[in-house]
């Protein structure tokens, strides 16, 4: 069974409460329970969330050599963090960059990602379903 971790960055602990008109009304824990049901027996899906850049990097290091894939929503660090981009380049597991919103329809500051070039692929704009699409992409990858 493939081992996948979803890593969520800053402010994503407030999904369901935070700007629901952009991010929807569902708590991530509830969505994760749905994912676990969907992939029961097909993938082992772990979850980590932190608002702290260094802790996200630590988690990438911890999981990046023995997991089959990483789904990363780095939140606003997407647009700023060379350190997270370097961490992605330092590990062997494929990383899929995920965004709930379509960042390209939003403010120009969200159009640039520091991490995209280090990732295997990018999925944005499908609401919470972006995470499932990323899991599907990892499961379909030969190396994952």
- Give the Cα separation of 49 and 92 in Å (integer): 21
Q: Does 103 bind ligand DQA (CB under 6 A)?
A: yes
Decide the pairing of beta strands 2-8 and 43-49: parallel
The yes or no reply on residue 8 touching ligand DQA (CB under 6 A) is: no
Among the listed residues 32, 101, 121, 126, the single contact to ligand DQA using CB under 6 A? 101
Residue 112 a catalytic site member: no
The least CB distance from residue 73 to ligand DQA, in Å, is 5
Q: Which stretch binds ligand DQA (CB under 6 A): 40-48, 56-64, 81-89, 100-108?
A: 100-108
Look up 77 and say whether it is catalytic. no
Q: Determine, following the binding rule CB under 6 A, whether residue 15 of this chain makes contact with ligand DQA.
A: no
Which residue matches tokens 């992409």?
A: 137
Residues that bind ligand DQA (CB under 6 A): 11, 73, 75-76, 78, 99-101, 103, 110
């Amino acid at each position: 069974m493939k081992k996948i971790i979803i890593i969520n960055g800053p402010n994503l602990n407030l999904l369901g409460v935070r700007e629901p008109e952009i991010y929807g009304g569902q708590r991530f824990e509830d969505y994760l329970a749905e994912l676990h049901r969907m992939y029961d027996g097909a993938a082992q899906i772990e979850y980590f969330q932190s608002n702290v850049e260094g802790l996200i990097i630590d988690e990438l290091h911890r999981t990046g050599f023995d997991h089959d894939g990483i789904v990363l929503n780095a939140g606003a660090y997407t647009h700023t963090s060379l350190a997270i981009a370097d961490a992605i380049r330092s590990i062997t597991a494929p990383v899929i960059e995920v965004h709930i919103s379509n960042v390209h329809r939003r403010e120009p500051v969200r159009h640039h990602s520091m991490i995209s070039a280090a990732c295997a692929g990018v999925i944005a704009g499908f609401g919470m379903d972006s995470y499932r699409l990323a899991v599907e992409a990892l499961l379909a990858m030969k190396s994952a």
